Amino acid sequence: MVGTLPSASLPRSKDTYTTEYHGPLTATFRRLKLFSVASFGLSAALTPIMFIIESSLPIGARASLAGIAMSTSGISTLLVSWCGSTYVTTLRHLRPEDNDGMGIEGLEMTTLSLFLRKRITRVYDVDFLVQTTRPFAKWELAETVSFAPPQDAGTGRKAGEPGEEETVAETVAADGEVTGRWIVRWEEGGVGHCRKVGSMVRHFNVHEELLT
């Protein structure tokens, strides 16, 4: 196994499955995104004025100033989007009996896009969540996993048959439309290789100390 959810091995009471986690920095990230988008919009709106007002600056200099202003605002907006796209605003456990009948513990995590649109990612098996090296994230959906082969008896989670594919996670828009899936394809020896289909949230930034 290449890794597991850090809190998955800890004992939980029955009530813990229904307890929601709320990201303490949700409001901060929300305001930061609003400010960033508003700043970029303001820069875009004011840039044409530089070419309208009378000035001793030549047209080439005005174009350079406009380009610098737009590129600076655009880069900062992209950075805010990249840093904040992984932040989990809410998290809840999917109880084994409620997890599409899979009998496996799962997670449902909500993140926000740059324009504050909700993206709900359901991970149907927490063993596919591993630690990540990406900045501004704690977990990621694994690219490769290894479980006991399907023919092994007396084990917990088992791999699928070689050549079989499973959807182990989905990202859903606020209107309920599935925008992306994380699919594992099983090979010999219980090894699975995962791939993304569509627009899928793969990385998640959570405060692990609040989950224990």
Q: What is the pLDDT of residues 129-174, one digit of tens each?
A: 999 999 999 999 999 999 887 666 455 567 888 999 999 999 999 9
What share of the chain in percent tops pLDDT 70? Answer: 83
44's CB contacts (< 8 A; 6+ apart) are 70, 73
Q: If you ran DSSP here, which 8-state letter would residue 195 be given?
A: E
Identity at 116, one-letter amino acid code: L
- Give percent of the chain with pLDDT exceeding 90: 64
Q: Which residues pair with 131 in a beta bridge?
A: 139
Q: Each residue of 1-54: pLDDT tens digit?
A: 333 344 333 333 343 344 589 999 999 999 999 999 999 999 999 888 888 887
For 40, counting Cβ atoms within 10 Å of its Cβ (0-12 exposed, 13-18 middle, 19+ buried), the class is buried
Q: Please give the Cα distance from 88 to 147 (Å, whole number).
A: 28
Strands (DSSP E) contained in the chain are 21-22, 90-94, 106-112, 118-123, 129-131, 139-141, 144-146, 165-173, 178-186, 191-198, 203-204
Tokens encoding 31: 């305001």
Q: Do β-strands 191-198 and 90-94 pair in parallel, antiparallel, or remain unpaired?
A: unpaired
